C-alpha cells in the first residue's frame, strides 16, 4: 500500500459509536432482487457493512463488494460459490473504502478482479490511511481489518467496461468525483438494476470524506443515475428500492447546497450557516442516519463556492 498522506474529513460533534460487529456474509439473509441477482443486505443498517451483490449468469458470475476484511471476504466467496457453483467468478467494488473492497484477498486465485483505473489509483494512494483510521473505530473493526493489504486488480479499465456473464451483460461505469474519486456504478440494463455504492445510501446523509469528494459533481452523478430509469437501486447501505432512492439523495444534497449558499449570501458566518442547515435537514429527514456528516457537507459546498 502507498504511504501517501491523506487528510480525511471527520464529522463534527459527538458521535456515539455503534459496537455491532461488521459481519456481512450470512446466507440466510440473501435477497433476490431480480432473476439470479442477489444481495447480502447490510444487517439492518449496521455501520461499515455494505450491501453485497452476486449476479449469476449462465457462464460466469460477478460479486459486487467483498466486504471488510479477509474473513468477510471468505464468507462472501463461499456464498458466491454456493450460488454460482464452479462457474468462473469476477469481483469488483463500487469504491475503495475498506468495508467495500478490503476483503479482496480472499478472492485471490478464486476470481478475476476488475476495477476502474481511478478507483485502483485511489485505493493505492489512500488505503493505508483509511485502514488506520477505521481500525480506531471499534475493536471489532480493527480485528476485521487485521492483516489486510492492497490487492492489485487483474483487469483495469478506463471509462466503461462490459462483462458478458453468459445470458446477461453487466456494464461497469466510472462515475467518480462524488463520494470518492473512483466511484463505480454496476448496471444490469436488461434487469434495470443498478448497484450504486455509496453514491446512494437509503435514509443516510451523504458523506464527503476527503478533498476529492465533491457535492456538486455528486448531484450530477445522481441525476445521471436517475436518467437510467432503474427499477431497482441497490444502495451502498440501507434497503434496496427504486429510483426514488437516488432522487432523495440528490434532493438532500441540493437542499444543503442551496440553503448554505443562500444563508452565506445573506451575511451569516460559516458556523451559523452550518448550525442552521443542520437543524433544518434533521427536521426534513428526522429518521436519516449520518447526521454528523451534514456539517462537513455544508462546509464543503461553501468552500467550493467562494
CA 38 to chain CA mean position, Å: 17
Q: Is residue 107 part of a domain?
A: yes
38 vs 304, which has greater pLDDT? Answer: 38
With respect to residue 111, please indicate whether it lies within any of the assigned structural domains: yes
According to the model, what pLDDT value does residue 8 have?
A: 84
What is the mean pLDDT of the segment spanning 83-106?
A: 97
Q: Is residue 251 part of a domain?
A: no
In DSSP terms, which residues pair with 197 in a beta bridge? 235
Residues 6+ apart with CB under 8 A from 77: 63, 66, 89, 106, 107, 110, 111
- 271: pLDDT strictly greater than 80: yes
Query: Is the model's pLDDT at 2 over the cut of 60?
Result: no
For a pLDDT cut of 90, what percent of the chain falls above it?
85
Is 1's pLDDT higher than 50? no
Q: What per-residue confidence (pLDDT) applies to 29? A: 85
Helices within the chain (DSSP H only): 70-84, 98-101, 117-134, 139-145, 215-227, 244-265, 270-284, 294-305
In a domain? residue 110? yes
Grid coordinates of 188? 444490469
Q: Provide the whole-model pTM.
A: 0.94
What pLDDT digit, counting tens, does each position of 239-268 carry?
Answer: 999 999 999 999 999 999 999 999 999 999
194 contacts 225 by C-beta, under 8 angstroms = yes
53 forms beta bridges with 39, 64
Q: Is the pLDDT of residue 75 over 80?
A: yes
CA distance 41 to 28: 10
Q: Which of 53, 58, 59, 60 is nearest to 34 (CA)?
A: 53
Rounded Cα distance between 81 and 226, Å, is 32
Asked whether the predicted pLDDT for residue 17 surpasses 80, the reply is: no
Arithmetic mean of pLDDT over the chain: 93
Q: Is the pLDDT of residue 3 over 60?
A: no
Q: Is residue 3 part of a domain?
A: no
We report the CATH number of the domain holding residue 171 as 3.60.15.10
Query: Tens digit of pLDDT for each residue in 156-183?
Result: 999 999 999 999 999 999 999 999 999 9
More confident residue, 6 or 263: 263
User: What mean pLDDT do residues 15-39 have?
Assistant: 77
Domain coverage including residue 87:
27-204+230-242
pLDDT reading at 43 higher than 80: no
What does the block give as the cell for 63? 460479486
297: in domain: no
Number of domains within the chain: 1
- pLDDT score at 25: 64
Amino acid at each position: 500500500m502507498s504511504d501517501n498522506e491523506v487528510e480525511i474529513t471527520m464529522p463534527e460533534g459527538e458521535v456515539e459509536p455503534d459496537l455491532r460487529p461488521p459481519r456481512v456474509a450470512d446466507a440466510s439473509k440473501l435477497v433476490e432482487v431480480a432473476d439470479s441477482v442477489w444481495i447480502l443486505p447490510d444487517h439492518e443498517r449496521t455501520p461499515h457493512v455494505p450491501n453485497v451483490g452476486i449476479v449469476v449468469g449462465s457462464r460466469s458470475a460477478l460479486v459486487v463488494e467483498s466486504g471488510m476484511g479477509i474473513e468477510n471476504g471468505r464468507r462472501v466467496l463461499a456464498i458466491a460459490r454456493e450460488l454460482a457453483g464452479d462457474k468462473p467468478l469476477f469481483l469488483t467494488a463500487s469504491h475503495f473504502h475498506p468495508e467495500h473492497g478490503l476483503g479482496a484477498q480472499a478472492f485471490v486465485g478464486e476470481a478475476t478482479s476488475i476495477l476502474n483505473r481511478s478507483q485502483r489509483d485511489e485505493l493505492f494512494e489512500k488505503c493505508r490511511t483509511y485502514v488506520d483510521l477505521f481500525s480506531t473505530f471499534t475493536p471489532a473493526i480493527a480485528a476485521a481489518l487485521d492483516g489486510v493489504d492492497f490487492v492489485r486488480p487483474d483487469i483495469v479499465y478506463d471509462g466503461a467496461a462490459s462483462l458478458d456473464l453468459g445470458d446477461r451483460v453487466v456494464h461497469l461505469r466510472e462515475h467518480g468525483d462524488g463520494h470518492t474519486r473512483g466511484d463505480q456504478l454496476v448496471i444490469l440494463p436488461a434487469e434495470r438494476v443498478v448497484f450504486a455504492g455509496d453514491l446512494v445510501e437509503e435514509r443516510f446523509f451523504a458523506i464527503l470524506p476527503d478533498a476529492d469528494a465533491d457535492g456538486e459533481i455528486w448531484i450530477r452523478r445522481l441525476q445521471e443515475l436517475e436518467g437510467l430509469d432503474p427499477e431497482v437501486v441497490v444502495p451502498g447501505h440501507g434497503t434496496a428500492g427504486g429510483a426514488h432512492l437516488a432522487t432523495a439523495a440528490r434532493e438532500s444534497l441540493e437542499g444543503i447546497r442551496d440553503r448554505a449558499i443562500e444563508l452565506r449570501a445573506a451575511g451569516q458566518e460559516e458556523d451559523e450557516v452550518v448550525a442552521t442547515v443542520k437543524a433544518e435537514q434533521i427536521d426534513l429527514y428526522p429518521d436519516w442516519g449520518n447526521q454528523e456528516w451534514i456539517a462537513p457537507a455544508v462546509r464543503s459546498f461553501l468552500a467550493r463556492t467562494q
